[in-house]
Structure 1
Amino acid sequence: IPKGRIGGTPKPRVPVRPTKPAATAEASTGAPRAVSPPKPAARKTLPGPAAPNRPAVPKAAPAAAPMKSAPAAAPMKSAPAAAAAKVSPQPNAADALREARGREAKRLFALGAALHRQGRIADAVRAYGRAIVFDPVFADAYANLGAAFRAQGKSEAAVASAARALALQPDRANFHSNLGNALRDQGRLEEAAQALQQALRLAPDAPEILYNFGLVLRDMGRLDTALSCFDAVLKSRPDHAECRYDRALALLQAGDLKRGFAEYEARWKLRRNPPRAFEVARWNGQAMPGKTLLVHAEPGFGDAIQFARFAAHAKEKSGATVLLESPAELARLMETLQAVDKIAVQGGPLPAFDAHIPIMSLPALMGTVATTIPAAVPYLSAPEIRAVALPNLVAGAFKVGIVWAGAAAARAERHRSCPFVHFLELLRVPGVVLYSLQTGKAAEDARQHAAEPLVFETGHLLADYADMASAILQLDLVVSVDSTAAHLAGALGKPVWTLLPDVPDWRWTARGKNTPWYPTMRLFRQKTRGDWSGVIAEAVAELRAVAGKRPRSG
């Protein structure tokens, strides 16, 4: 079968004095939730990739009925005294104003919480801010404001808001948890762990706080302890989908691929990632010759490239026509997969098919372990049509493609991206010429550093990842952070050096210079969190050793 692309809110009645509301915080993939002990907070809102937790709305507490007693005999009063008793005392104006401001603050807080739950984060921020204007010591408003700031990615403001809430009410366990979550977003993991440990001292039986602590431990690379936290949470809350999902990632990061991929199916229980509804059944590995199997896309270009290798297994085991759904940016590239019969562009109409399976569910179906990963490369190639031609800037030069940032939307981007200027150190090696394969907003970094004469920009030549494949095949080496380009170079069988943070994404595991996913890939790891200079120095030393020995690309 030939391949082809198919392709003004009314004021409420004055309430009786409300009880203190519980502030909650949002969470993202792998993002923790804030809680209000002793009862766990609402669910948080991953790759990923996130809606906020449901903020608390203050409820009016019923007024206690006064005790009745027998009426006492009224004392005799003189006529003037009796007349004076009938005159009502004037209310204190300052007290009345204070009470009115408090009522308005609570009304605005409730409005902000409702907006927060609806995902109208900017409106919620304004409402919480106005509530604080009316009541500057409203701790719960600060806590929810911090949660909203986290949802907006404003980690500094989130930390400041959470710290202010704690300054006002330091014995609130959920406030300590909120602060820990915000500190985790900034990569301040030791401080985050301390905040969450204090929260656990105040509320040792709160599963949400224990879950948040497990996330921080995982980020610190303390996988065994993190898994113990996740296991304890799931013991009391077996339906905790977010925890089960993050436990899967920890298992994968620890190298336990079989259990990790099996647990990874928990992603379909996440509110932000519902399974797609099809009229046909999901494929469970049975033979289906003469029929069509849809292997459908999941988020992440790098994931799509990494897991495309499993299409051959689906083809072999099913005996069916394999229809692969692909993002448009990858469609031409995926046409080069030998096991794929047809390509359907994601978002477009799908032709008829008889069964389906998500592409990242194939490893679990295969029972994949490290030694059984399909590792033959190349399994992708560059289409011959519309091939990109890179200029030979220097005769006999050692051509190195560089990528210093991944997808801008990725939550961990600040953690795994390397400042562009570090890559200029590669030019210390004689004979090396740099070609930028960087895409997205980060591609402007070379111009901002006036480095155009030092790095050839290829962005204007690349319309999609098939074009990038064509460019990579003309290079001697790709040096990249964890990015789509690194996956692509590995799938093409080209030498690629991947620069990793101290605790990288699960697929690169916790240690080692090599990866079973890509035989031609070398891993360079941070020895100290945030220290890219050490990683680059190691790469420069290695480049000196190989640049003069390896044959140059034409």
Structure 2
Amino acid sequence: MSNDSTAQPVIDIPLIERMLAANPRDGGAWSTLGVLLRRAGKLSAAAACHARGVSFTPGHAGIWSNLGNALVDLGRYDEGIAAHRQSCELAAGTVTSWFNLAIALRKVGFFAEALEALDRGLALEPDNASLQWERSLAALQMGDYDQGFAFYEARRGIPAYRNRLPSGPAWDGGPLNGRRILLSTEQGFGDALLVARYVSLVKAMGGTVLFECHPELRTVLSGLPVDEVVTAGADYPAYDVYASLMSLPRLLGTRYDTIPAPTPITIPTAAREKAARLLGPRDGALRVGIVWSGRVTFADNARRATTLDRFLPFLEVPNTRFYSLQKGPPEAQLAELGTSALIPALGPQFDDFADTAAVIEQLDLVIMTDSSVAHLAGSLGKPIWNLVQHVPYWIYGYEGDRTPWYPSMRLFRQGRDENWDAVFETVKRALMEQAVSKTHG
């Protein structure tokens, strides 16, 4: 389901601009231009176009909804929610209006209200997979795992997810009695690390386990009790039943207070020796690894990530040594800020997650914004301070400084203003306390 109500991908911006030159009071054309500008990342201009649209066509529910989308993207949540509510009032029978309102409410943290909006939409279309999926995310964020995991299966009806799932008989969670079960991966590295903890429970059900694994994770997950590893993206071998890794929490009855311990991580001796060379001899200082961005192609990375310059005040804390675990394009910020001598760049030396894990194992602390490395450090049981956005990934819930998924992880949360300043000030104070403790410990 597109959350732009007048999306018309075959129409380009110059054509709409010509239409508006001929008729500048065409509210629908203004909103269509706004949709195209939003797709191009020009959010302020998009919001202005939609606002112009509703000024000429105030009774059009779709234009109000499009305005709400653009305002929410800009972080103007109160205005965006108000626009979505206006859309719902004008079109009480439009599923898209309720869907867009629910997304806006969830992004602010109004989960109960988001569920109410989704229920209104589901009353109109009970089988709508997008509404069910959004309901899953809101319920999981609230810690309602029974409802959340049940609706999580709705992703099978969403094209972006449907294409990643195998075909054939799906496992129902019961005894396998010698059958061959394929455990397929469908999402990113972090999700694979998160739910690898369930593989041993599946093996205990008495079957032959075929485990689909990203090549980058193969070494660190080599200790899992599987019978065959299938490279992610390769053709599947013969199997009797399958289960997506992300379906295992539901199939194995996970509740908030029954989450299995993280999976053990395998680190080869060669990786440990490499890490020792990269880090050098210990000198009594607090060794801290940092990561400031996840995968840049991830849709929500702009909200969960930040920039290296925010970490620089940490370098002023006495008795600390910092190491960059960052990989990908954001690595360039080390050279741009002139910090290469202050923060050795270890990311380019990592061939796979085993190299990263070996370094983390020899650090005292990891400070980072959320990404797959957080799952790796959490699985290793190393102290990790995860700096998370206002409404983060659902395993972190919505309040508190701990997550039951990773006992060694401490959470530092943004406020509703989504400002990182207060977060980094709090982290610096905590780091100073940690460094003093290290000095006198």
TM-score range, shorter chain: over 0.9
**Do the aligned partners of 1:166 and 1:175 also contact (CA within 8 Å) in 2?**
yes
Q: Match for 2:250 among 345, 364, 371?
A: 364
**Do the aligned partners of 1:146 and 1:161 also contact (CA within 8 Å) in 2?**
yes
Q: Which amino acid aligns with 1:200?
A: C
Which residue number in structure 1 is paired with residue 140 of structure 2?
A: 252
- The alignment status of 1:328 with 2:215, answered yes or no, reads yes
- The alignment status of 1:293 with 2:178, answered yes or no, reads no
State the identity %.
Answer: 36
Deviations 1:341-384 (A, max 9, x none): 32211122333322211000011111210111102x45223233
**Do the aligned partners of 1:177 and 1:196 also contact (CA within 8 Å) in 2?**
yes
SS of alignment partner, residue 176 of structure 2: coil
Deviations 1:277-304 (A, max 9, x none): 7564222123334442210001221111
Q: Which amino acid aligns with 1:365?
A: L
Q: Match for 1:380 among 255, 259, 265?
A: 265
- The alignment status of 1:440 with 2:328, answered yes or no, reads yes
**Do the aligned partners of 1:501 and 1:529 also contact (CA within 8 Å) in 2?**
no
Range with greater deviation from structure 2 (282-291 or 252-261) = 282-291
**Do the aligned partners of 1:155 and 1:186 also contact (CA within 8 Å) in 2?**
yes
- Deviation, structure 1 residue 230: 0.7
Distance 1:429 1:279, change over 3 A: closer
Distance 1:291 1:206, change over 3 A: closer
**Do the aligned partners of 2:412 and 2:427 also contact (CA within 8 Å) in 1?**
yes
| Higher CA-based Rg | 1
Aligned 1:89-238 pairs, distance under 5 A: 115=10, 124-238=12-126
Q: Which amino acid aligns with 2:247?
A: S
Which residue number in structure 2 is paired with residue 348 of structure 1?
A: 234
Which residue number in structure 2 is paired with residue 518 of structure 1?
A: 406
SS of alignment partner, residue 220 of structure 2: helix
SS of alignment partner, residue 391 of structure 2: coil
Distance 1:240 1:153, change over 3 A: farther
Q: Which amino acid aligns with 1:329?
A: E
In angstroms, what is the RMSD of aligned CA positions?
A: 2.3
Unaligned 5+ runs, structure 1: 1-25, 36-52, 56-112, 117-123
Deviations 1:158-207 (A, max 9, x none): 22332232233233221111010111122221121121222233334433
**Do the aligned partners of 1:295 and 1:356 also contact (CA within 8 Å) in 2?**
yes
SS of alignment partner, residue 229 of structure 2: strand
- The alignment status of 1:309 with 2:197, answered yes or no, reads yes
**Do the aligned partners of 2:141 and 2:397 also contact (CA within 8 Å) in 1?**
yes
**Do the aligned partners of 1:34 and 1:181 also contact (CA within 8 Å) in 2?**
no
Deviations 1:404-437 (A, max 9, x none): 1122122222222123212112223211111111
SS of alignment partner, residue 171 of structure 1: coil
Distance 1:153 1:327, change over 3 A: farther
- Deviation, structure 1 residue 482: 1.3
- The alignment status of 1:34 with 2:5, answered yes or no, reads yes
SS of alignment partner, residue 357 of structure 1: strand
**Do the aligned partners of 1:344 and 1:350 also contact (CA within 8 Å) in 2?**
yes
Structure 2: distance between partners of 1:229 and 1:475: 46
**Do the aligned partners of 1:498 and 1:521 also contact (CA within 8 Å) in 2?**
yes
Q: May I ask how many residue pairs the two structures share in their alignment?
A: 437
Range with greater deviation from structure 2 (442-451 or 223-232) = 442-451
- Deviation, structure 1 residue 443: 1.7
**Do the aligned partners of 2:61 and 2:88 also contact (CA within 8 Å) in 1?**
yes
Structure 1: distance between partners of 2:181 and 2:93: 47
Distance 1:349 1:551, change over 3 A: farther
Distance 1:378 1:280, change over 3 A: closer
SS of alignment partner, residue 204 of structure 2: helix
Structure 2: distance between partners of 1:268 and 1:438: 33
Range with greater deviation from structure 2 (441-450 or 494-503) = 441-450
SS of alignment partner, residue 546 of structure 1: helix
Which residue number in structure 2 is paired with residue 99 of structure 1?
A: none
Q: Which amino acid aligns with 1:331?
A: R
Q: Which amino acid aligns with 1:307?
A: V
SS of alignment partner, residue 268 of structure 2: coil
Structure 1: distance between partners of 2:140 and 2:178: 35
Deviations 1:87-133 (A, max 9, x none): xxxxxxxxxxxxxxxxxxxxxxxxxx5x26xxxxxxx3444344445
Q: Which amino acid aligns with 2:428?
A: V
**Do the aligned partners of 1:326 and 1:345 also contact (CA within 8 Å) in 2?**
yes
Structure 1: distance between partners of 2:178 and 2:61: 60
- Deviation, structure 1 residue 329: 2.4
Structure 2: distance between partners of 1:129 and 1:325: 49
Q: Match for 1:451 among 339, 342, 348?
A: 339
Distance 1:350 1:217, change over 3 A: same
Which residue number in structure 2 is paired with residue 103 of structure 1?
A: none
Structure 2: distance between partners of 1:531 and 1:403: 18
SS of alignment partner, residue 269 of structure 2: coil
Which residue number in structure 1 is paired with residue 225 of structure 2?
A: 339
Structure 1: distance between partners of 2:118 and 2:318: 50
Distance 1:161 1:463, change over 3 A: farther
**Do the aligned partners of 2:319 and 2:439 also contact (CA within 8 Å) in 1?**
no
Unaligned 5+ runs, structure 2: none
Q: Which amino acid aligns with 2:208?
A: T
Which residue number in structure 2 is paired with residue 391 of structure 1?
A: 279
Structure 2: distance between partners of 1:287 and 1:471: 39
Deviations 1:7-26 (A, max 9, x none): xxxxxxxxxxxxxxxxxxx8
Distance 1:335 1:430, change over 3 A: same
TM-score scaled by length of structure 1: 0.74
**Do the aligned partners of 1:333 and 1:466 also contact (CA within 8 Å) in 2?**
yes
**Do the aligned partners of 1:394 and 1:433 also contact (CA within 8 Å) in 2?**
no
Structure 2: distance between partners of 1:277 and 1:537: 43
